[in-house]
Structure 1
Amino acid sequence: MIWTIIGILLLAWLIGFVVDVAGGLIHILLIIALVVFIAKMLRR
């Protein structure tokens, strides 16, 4: 499940660079996803 969320956010982040949609919101969501991913990896 987490990999799906990370993949979708990464895709949205890349599209955001090309189209410049939603400004910094995409980048903030990607950072949140990265923090969640790191937290999950550290808990293992």
Structure 2
Amino acid sequence: MATTVLVSVLLGRYLDSLLDTTPWLLLLFSILGIGAAIRVLFNMPKYKK
């Protein structure tokens, strides 16, 4: 889960520097990464069955 958030933050920072849109893509990808981690966290009990 931490990897998902880290990769999304790094991707957002890279795209921000490439497209000069600071901080919008960083914020967008951070929110998406955190959302994906929360979704995995809530679906985890289903995998243990």
Asked if Structure 1 and Structure 2 have the same fold, meaning a TM-score greater than 0.5 normalized by the shorter chain, the answer is yes
Q: Taking every aligned residue pair, what percent have the same amino acid on both sides?
A: 14
| Superposition CA RMSD, Å | 2.1
| Structure 2 residues without counterparts, runs of 5 or longer | 45-49
Task: Give the 4+ runs in structure 1 shifted more than 6 A.
Answer: none
Provide the C-alpha distance between the structure 2 equivalents of 1:30 and 1:39, rounded to a whole number of angstroms.
Answer: 14
Map 1:1-44; keep pairs closer than 5 Å. 2-8=1-7, 9=9, 12=10, 21=17, 22-23=21-22, 24-44=24-44
Residue 30 of structure 1: CA displacement? 0.2
Q: TM-score, normalised by structure 1?
A: 0.57
Match of 2:47 in 1: none
| 3-state DSSP of counterpart to 1:29 | helix
Unaligned runs of 5+ in 1: none
SS in 1 for 2:41: helix
Q: How many residues align?
A: 35
